[in-house]
Amino acid sequence: MVTSRDGSAVSRLLKRAVVSGITSTGVDVADLHVMPAAVNRHVLKSEGLGAGVHVRPSTADPWRSTSCPSRSSRRSESGSSTR
């Protein structure tokens, strides 16, 4: 099995958890660390490996958006008035 991830911190954490779980079952894992998914697919096919995993955050995740309001601004909007 081959694994890779993008450069985000959350991907690093999740890939480590996935690799730990897979290796605990006795499966050998080739870890590519930070690589594009295309490199993962190439290694998977060229080396004749049986499976591959690439970890990255979803592009639909609202917390990654720069237009999403911060938690502190939402708190102040819903806070109490002084009247």
Residue 64 lies in a domain: no
Structure tokens at 63: 């917390």
- The pLDDT assigned to 65 comes to 53
In terms of residue numbers, what domain contains 26?
Answer: 2-57
Place 74 in a pLDDT band, splitting at 50, 70 and 90.
very low
Residue 33 lies in a domain: yes
| Alpha-carbon 58 to chain mean position | 8
E runs forming strands in the chain: 2-5, 30-34, 52-55
Contact 7, 55 (CB under 8 A): no
pTM: 0.68
Place 62 in a pLDDT band, splitting at 50, 70 and 90.
low
- The pLDDT assigned to 55 comes to 95
Whether the pLDDT of residue 78 is over 80: the answer is no
Residue 23 lies in a domain: yes
Q: Mean pLDDT across the chain, nearest whole number?
A: 82
- Strand-by-strand arrangement of the 2-5 sheet: 30-34, 2-5, 52-55
The count of structural domains within the chain is: 1
Q: What are phi and psi of 19, to 5 degrees?
A: -65, -40
